[in-house]
Amino acid sequence: MSRIVRRLLSSLLLLWAVFTLTFLLTRFAPGNPFSAGRHLPPDVMANLLKTYHLDRPLWEQYLLTLGQTLFGNWGTSYKATGIPVSEIISQTLPVSLTLGVLAFVASILLGLTAGLLIGIGPPWISRLLRYGTTLLVGLPSFLLAAVLIDVVGLHAGLLPVALWEGWQSAVLPVLALSIAPAGYLARIFATSMEETLESPFYRTSLANGIVSSRRLIFHLILPSMNAVLALVGPLAAAFLTGSFVVETVFAIPGMGRVFVLSVMNRDYPLIMGTTIVYTVFLTVAILVGDLLQEGVDPRVRSL
């Protein structure tokens, strides 16, 4: 229990640090949200700054924003005038969550299957997948997205290449987001299995004549899963926070695309709201991943 309490306290400290850093970075950038590309009369500019409390000293702005954030109130968007940031997030977050969950599940299934074939599959399949996963690990998601759009979408006309309308629209973004992590998981899982195959634990199961199916599941696959579970938290967080580019390329109305646009528009409330939400999901995903790893391997608790 004390370990969980310490982790929760460290997560709260991380949230505060992210909030402070985000606030300072947005305020110290040259200019203000209303000066980019526009030449407003001085009285209009002064009125806008007063309306959004940007004319106050920096420490007052910090305390005011911190107080609002503690109660989940990020104010209204500067660009989408009159629309609360919480409403924008509530509309776009489910899309990003759906995309992230689908990509996470796809990467786990593809990665474990490929890793299993690398570890105990026929030599030619193992060799082919080793080379293939090595190439996929370094493949940027935006490059894969562009290739999928051109080959599968535009030339073959098999799937839609933009928006979020039905399951067909999700196929290409999910593939673009999950292929590279699946390759990385496959290599990690295969390496872990190779170590397990050489371990006394597995050799003892061979010597005792344990049924092959039981030996495969309980003495090879499950002991090798510890290395994969160590990546579950960071991987889940990466899918949510790493969908910015994919959502932008496929014009998906998710929170990642909103975050990119908010940074370009210097929309302070929207930047803060999306950053805090992403940080919360990041910390929760990592915490859950650590707890899963401890549940599978009690030795981790003593580290």
Residues 6+ apart with CB under 8 A from 168: 159, 160
Band (pLDDT 50/70/90 cuts) for residue 105 is: very high
Contact 241, 278 (CB under 8 A): yes
* Amino acid at site 102: L
| pLDDT of amino acid 17 | 94
Residues 6+ apart with CB under 8 A from 298: none
Band (pLDDT 50/70/90 cuts) for residue 298 is: low
Q: What is the DSSP letter of 218?
A: I
Residues 6+ apart with CB under 8 A from 263: 271
For the stretch 134-166, pLDDT in tens is: 888 878 888 888 889 999 888 888 888 887 888
Tokens of 224: 């090798």
Query: Hey, where are the domains in the chain?
Result: 2-70, 86-302
Task: Give the whole-angstrom CA distance, residue 41 versus residue 210.
Answer: 83
| Residue 5 scores a pLDDT above 90 | no
| pLDDT of amino acid 242 | 63
The mean pLDDT of the chain is: 83
Tokens of 17: 């640090």
CA dihedral 91, 255, 112, 293 (to 10 degrees): -90
| pLDDT of amino acid 16 | 93
* Amino acid at site 141: S
Band (pLDDT 50/70/90 cuts) for residue 65 is: very high
Task: Give the whole-angstrom CA distance, residue 111 versus residue 105.
Answer: 10
| pLDDT of amino acid 48 | 81
| pLDDT of amino acid 60 | 93
| Residue 303 scores a pLDDT above 60 | no
Residue 285 to residues 86, 151, 276, 278: CA-CA distances in angstroms?
22, 34, 14, 11
Give the rounded percent of residues in the chain with a pLDDT score beyond 70: 89
Tokens of 255: 């929170």
* 86-302: CATH, from 3.50.50.60, 3.90.1010.10, 3.40.640.10, 1.10.3720.10: 1.10.3720.10
| pLDDT of amino acid 166 | 82
Residues 6+ apart with CB under 8 A from 300: 226, 290, 293, 294
| Residue 297 scores a pLDDT above 60 | no
Contact 17, 64 (CB under 8 A): no
For the stretch 194-215, pLDDT in tens is: 888 777 777 776 666 655 767 7
Identify the bridge partners of residue 76 per DSSP, sorted by sequence position.
84
Model confidence, pTM: 0.81
For the stretch 6-52, pLDDT in tens is: 878 888 898 999 999 999 999 887 777 877 656 777 888 888 888 88
For the stretch 239-290, pLDDT in tens is: 776 677 888 888 888 888 888 888 888 889 999 999 998 888 888 877 776 7
Q: What angle do the packed helices 268-296 and 222-241 form, to 10 degrees?
A: 180
Contact 178, 103 (CB under 8 A): yes
